[in-house]
Structure 1
Amino acid sequence: MQLWFLMSMNATTETHHGAALQKLIRDDKKAEKILNGVLDDYKTAPISKKEKAMLDYAVKLTKKPASIKKDDLNQLRKYELSDRDILDLNQVVAYFNYVNRTADGLGIELEAEHK
């Protein structure tokens, strides 16, 4: 998994990751296009089918974790994700969900420069 993709996965909840994405890609226009596409509707964003499948999994794991079935994992395997890749994806999504829920639960707000 490319780091820029992992950063964009969390862009909807962590504004400062958008700035990090721009620095990582080193192409402000491309980063903005990807970020806006993911924020607006990742299904129409300028990303690969594989990345869209990964985001489908991330959304499902975030919103309906108990509904994940083997078919969801097999869908990722169709895009040549290994079991290790799927584990990495799962852990990244779970971590971002944990961190964001912890911050929300404690009333933590973004720093002023990131609002």
Structure 2
Amino acid sequence: MAWIKTIPFEAATGKLRALYGRVTGPGNNVDNIMMMHSLRPHTMEGHMAIYKYVLHHRDNTVPKWFLEVLGVWVSSLNTCGYCVEHHFAGMKRLLGDAPRADAIRTALEARDIAATPLDAAQHAALRYTQALTQTPGTMAETDVQALREAGWEDGEVLEINQVVAYFSYANRTVLGLGCSTKGDIIGLSPGNSDDPEDWGHR
């Protein structure tokens, strides 16, 4: 499951047990990406807070399913299969249109933004996401202006930016520590967007 020691739910005590209690899914299942932090629980706390606030916060205005599309795109570009599988399943559930979700994934895996069944504004967000993921040092104000011209407001640009930044972090956590999906329940996420402190996975 990992290249470093991790502490399972049953063996956790103190702060770690309390944090595990907040992030569990059915049957006290803890996603392996969270278990990667078990030797330093304070980093799990930071990870979950930013994950919840970036993707699952009540004040976001970009549709949650599309934020998940961006997460799948970043993860695909970074060849992070763990995050692709988890977040594609979440995106598919949120979108409620399995054929369209599959078509989005197929196009992203082919690196063909134009083939994704999305609108022009969403295509612009995918282009920004690809540039920021693959060539962050070349980003310029014109990249943000292109999002504005596509119809995104500045607060939404920030949401898109933060999803890219979060997944770049999450992908490197997974890839750098050998995190696998073994034992995970694929596609669970914090379902209660109305409560920023509710981290329970559903």
Q: TM-score over 0.5 for the alignment?
A: yes
Distance 1:75 1:67 in 2: 15
In the alignment, what sits opposite 2:132? Answer: 61
C-alpha deviation, 1:112, in angstroms: 6.1
Q: Matched residues in 1 for 2:139 and 2:147: separation?
A: 12
Selected match of 1:18 from 73, 83, 88: 88
Residue 90 of structure 1 is aligned with which of 158, 161, 180? 161
Tell me what 1:35 maps to.
105
| Higher RCO (C-alpha under 8 Å, 6+ residues apart) | 2
When normalised by structure 1's length, the TM-score is 0.88
Q: Which amino acid aligns with 1:75?
A: A
RMSD: 1.7
User: Which deviates more, 101-110 or 64-73?
Assistant: 101-110
Q: Structure 2: where are the runs of 5+ without partners?
A: 1-61, 187-202
Unaligned runs of 5+ in 1: none
Looking at structure 1, the residues matched to 85 and 64 of structure 2 have their Cα atoms a distance apart, in angstroms, of: 16
Question: Which of 35, 42, 47 is the matching residue for 2:118?
Answer: 47
22-31 vs 64-73, which deviates more?
22-31
1:17-73 CA-partner distances (Å, limit 9, x unpaired): 222122112221222122222222222211111111101111111111111101111
CA distance in 2, matches of 1:86, 1:2: 13
Mean CA deviation greater in 69-78 or 37-46? 37-46
SS in 2 for 1:15: helix
Please state if 1:6 is matched with 2:67: yes
Contact 2:71 2:163 in 1 (8 A): no
Deviates further, 34-43 or 95-104: 34-43
Task: Return the structure number with greater helix share.
Answer: 1
Shift of 1:10: 2.2
Between structure 1 and structure 2, the one with the greater Rg is 2
Does 2:176 correspond to 1:105? yes
